[in-house]
């Protein structure tokens, strides 16, 4: 029995040359918009916190503005580093878009995990500081701490959700490569 390899070659070429699925293109476009909106939101937070700190001239607001600036630089730098190679597809094929989607999901999981631990350390430091200075404790500091703790739970939830997405895209890639 002879194997007809020409049909297999045509199948591989067809898979390599096919147009990316519209769902992948929409997903990548949506992720690009989300990244741009995230950068814009960080810039707005930096500007608003700086303006408020300059207007009120209180140590708490100055510390909050400095903390937001420091966190933005650290988390932004980490996210930028982790997302190397996850900016655009290597080619205009379905497989390339699936690989890009997987790389972005893995990068997002890493970024969310880093953000969670960064925020956990921040909350612990803030709680220690507030505990040390409990006589000067204000309701505003309590509200900020409660908001940060709420954000910890939200980051944990997002991390689990993105982990499931990364696993799904990994299975999809394995199926596509077979």
Average pLDDT, the chain: 84
Q: First and final CA of the chain: distance in angstroms?
A: 24
- What would the pLDDT profile of 10-62 be if each residue is shown by its tens digit? 667 666 555 556 677 788 888 889 888 988 998 998 899 889 889 988 887 88
Residues with Cβ within 8 Å of 69's Cβ and at least 6 positions away in sequence, in order, are 46, 49, 50
The conformation of residue 21, written as its DSSP 8-state character, comes to P
User: How many residues are given for the chain?
Assistant: 178
pLDDT cut 70: percent of the chain above it: 90
Kindly report the pTM of this predicted structure. 0.73
* CA proximity to 101, closest of 37, 165, 17, 12: 165
* CA proximity to 105, closest of 61, 170, 45: 170
- Name the residue ranges covered by the structural domains of the chain: 21-177
């Amino acid at each position: 029995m002879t194997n007809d390899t020409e049909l297999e070659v045509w199948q591989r070429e067809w898979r390599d040359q096919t147009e990316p699925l519209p769902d992948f293109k929409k997903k990548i476009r949506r992720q690009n918009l989300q990244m741009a909106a995230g950068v814009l939101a960080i810039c707005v937070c930096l500007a608003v916190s700086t303006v408020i700190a300059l207007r009120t001239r209180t140590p708490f607001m100055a510390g909050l503005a400095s903390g937001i600036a420091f966190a933005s630089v650290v988390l932004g730098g980490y996210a930028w580093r982790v997302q190397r190679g996850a900016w655009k597809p290597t080619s205009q094929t379905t497989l390339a878009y699936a690989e890009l989607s997987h790389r972005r999901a893995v990068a997002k999981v890493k970024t969310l995990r880093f953000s969670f631990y960064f925020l956990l350390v921040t909350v612990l430091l803030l709680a220690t500081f507030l505990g040390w200075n409990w006589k000067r404790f204000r309701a505003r500091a309590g509200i900020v701490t409660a908001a940060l703790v709420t954000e910890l739970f939200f980051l944990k939830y997002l991390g689990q959700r993105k982990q499931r997405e990364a696993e799904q895209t990994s299975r999809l890639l394995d199926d596509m490569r077979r």
